[in-house]
Amino acid sequence: MSDVKQELIKYGKKLVETDLTKGTGGNLSVFDREKQLMAITPSGIDFFEIKESDIVVMDINGNVVEGERLPSSEWYMHLIQYQTRDDIDAIIHAHTTYATVLACLREPLPASHYMIAVAGKDVRVAEYATYGTKELAVNAAKAMEGRRAVLLANHGILAGAQNLLNAFNIVEEVEYCAKIYCLAKNFGEPVVLPDEEMDLMAEKFKTYGQRKLRG
């Protein structure tokens, strides 16, 4: 899983470089559906200090099968998605600024900008639970049903896709939409696009909104 571990390190650094998280805030994982194994970033290590040997590999039941480090404290929040969904093979959790502002307000992100379609018709807020708990994992999975992102109350954002490239894209676009929404609220009430338009966006984004890996 060397390539996968390199990708996790790459996108962990990218989260910090693009100001989508701070310090060790956040975690990333990739699921090998054929082998039923999850590779996840370790707990409490700066993204710029993580080495391949620090990445932890777990089986579908949550047992560590490779690695000496402790997995991210949020490992079950990742694993439950792989256990219950077949459209997600990569997950990113980050402490982005504007999405977290909405999460602290317990305010869902509506379709005030069409780019929210990368995540769904809107982005819900999961009920609050202490970080690293199974309760938070269950709350996040429930609020993320039918969506590819969820706001974690008083915490941050969780996003999933078929690979890290697209998971990162979702985090980036949701944060952009959250920023636009927060700024627009200063001047009035943002106009929310109707469900019919978002249904159309969902169809168009099956190709437009998906970033493709280069060969």
Q: Catalytic positions, please? A: 74
DSSP letter (8 states) at residue 67 = -
Terminal Cα distance for the chain, rounded: 18
Are 2 and 8 in contact by the 8 Å Cβ rule? The answer is no
Are 83 and 76 in contact by the 8 Å Cβ rule? The answer is no
Taking residue 79's Cβ as centre, other Cβ atoms within 10 Å add up to: 24
**Pairing mode of beta strands 90-94, 27-32:** antiparallel
Both structure tokens of 122: 């809107």
